[in-house]
Amino acid sequence: MAAKINGVFELDDHSFDFTAIAFGRIGGQNIGAKLSDDTKKTLSDLDYNIDEVIDEGKAKMEELKGKADDIEKDLEKKLRKNK
């Protein structure tokens, strides 16, 4: 299973669009992120390291996935308890 993720991230006072593909249940370590050529050029013009920006974005998505998993587990426990 794969999920396509479209979103916006912010660096300092700038906003950038991104697209990511998460493979597996809802991602985890198998996340591929892509930035448009325009976004890459703007990041480069602002002296950002594009690979570091992508790596940090992937790490944030993995962190959010972990939080979502925890919420899902808590919800499942509550639902089982109420049956």
pLDDT band with cut points at 50, 70 and 90 for residue 27:
very low
The count of residues in the chain is 83
The answer to whether 40 touches 17, Cβ cutoff 8 Å, is no
How many other β-carbons are positioned within 10 Å of the β-carbon of residue 54? 19
Who has greater pLDDT, 52 or 28?
Answer: 52
Which residue did the predictor score with more confidence, 33 or 66? 33
* pLDDT of 61: 79
pLDDT at residue 79 tops 60: yes
Question: Domain ranges in the chain?
Answer: 2-81
Most confident of 35-39, 57-61, 71-75: 35-39
pLDDT (tens digit per residue) in 41-53: 999 999 999 999 9
pTM listed for this prediction? 0.67
